[in-house]
Amino acid sequence: MNIAVTGLGWVTPKGIGRGRDHTSLPGGQGPIPSPTRKTAFHGPFPRFGRLDAYSKIGLTAIALALQDAHRDRWEKKRNVGLIASSFSGCLATDMDYFKTVLPDGGRLASPNLFAYTLPNSFLGEAAIRFGLTGTSFVICEEPLTGIQSLHFAIGSIAEGESDGVLAGTCDMGCPEIGPASSTPVTGSLFCLLERADQADGFSYGGIGIDREGRIRMNGGSIEDMLGLIQRCIEIATARKGS
């Protein structure tokens, strides 16, 4: 089965962007920009303000990737999965939550914050917001490359389990706890993979797994999620120039 990359979105230190806009490039180290509701969502979304920072960057990158693929609007729920990789997960949120447990013997523990003390909570928010009913889980890995999430995403589509999968990485780091991960990029990076025969006209190119188990896109080897997104942008830029 042919699988295509049809949408890209990111929230990284270099900036917030989506594939076909070319207004910013992904990557970099340092502070991660804080997306607001208006960054990626049109219309009311009162819950956005209650999300923890980790969920905000993850959900925003997913929304941008769906917009890039023109898949953000929906009427019927869709068999699209969500698979993300992370190293620190929601540890920063864990610390914020536990601060609410300490006073008064836990009587003031915050149920709202507790709901976001799972690395996969933001995937649940994305599923609700965009009507996505496929598989959804987070892979906690070190080093954080996102390659595992791409492997499982491609496998899920190839096995016929999903029509599409949003695969990516999401990591805020947690300097208060450490240790430092050998994470190539912080922030969130997501791409939408779809069955090529169901893609809506536009595609950055085909993606698959070769016999040695390596991820390949348009013939080139992909080593991590950032590399995949950069490769897609190169392809789109070259097409514009030709």
In this chain, which of 5, 40, 66, 127 binds another protein, going by CB under 8 A?
Answer: 127
Q: Identify the burial level of 197 via C-beta atoms within 10 angstroms of its C-beta, where 0-12 means exposed, 13-18 middle and 19 or more buried.
A: exposed
- Count of positions on this chain that bind another protein (CB under 8 A): 57
Q: Is 49 in the site for another protein (CB under 8 A)?
A: no
In this chain, which of 124, 184, 205, 206 binds another protein, going by CB under 8 A?
Answer: 124
In this chain, which of 155, 184, 205, 206 binds another protein, going by CB under 8 A?
Answer: 155
Q: Is 105 in the site for another protein (CB under 8 A)?
A: yes
Count CA atoms within 13 Å of residue 96 on its CB side. Answer: 18
Residue type, position 174, single letter: C
- Compute the distance between CA of residue 5 and CA of residue 228 in angstroms, rounded to an integer: 9
Q: Do 230 and 26 contact (CB within 8 A), yes or no?
A: yes
Q: x/- binding map, residues 173-212, to another protein, per CB under 8 A? A: ----xxx-----------------------------x---
Strand-strand pairing, 164-171 and 80-86: parallel
Q: Which stretch binds another protein (CB under 8 A): 1-9, 64-72, 88-96, 164-172?
A: 88-96
Cβ closest to another protein, residue 116 vs residue 204: 116
Classify 146 as helix, strand or coil.
coil
Q: What share of the chain is helix, strand, coil (3-state, %, to 5)?
A: 35, 25, 40
What residue ranges bind another protein (CB under 8 A)?
77, 82, 87-89, 91, 94-95, 97-98, 101-102, 104-107, 109-111, 114-115, 117-121, 123-125, 127-128, 130-142, 148, 151-152, 155-156, 158-159, 161, 177-179, 209, 213
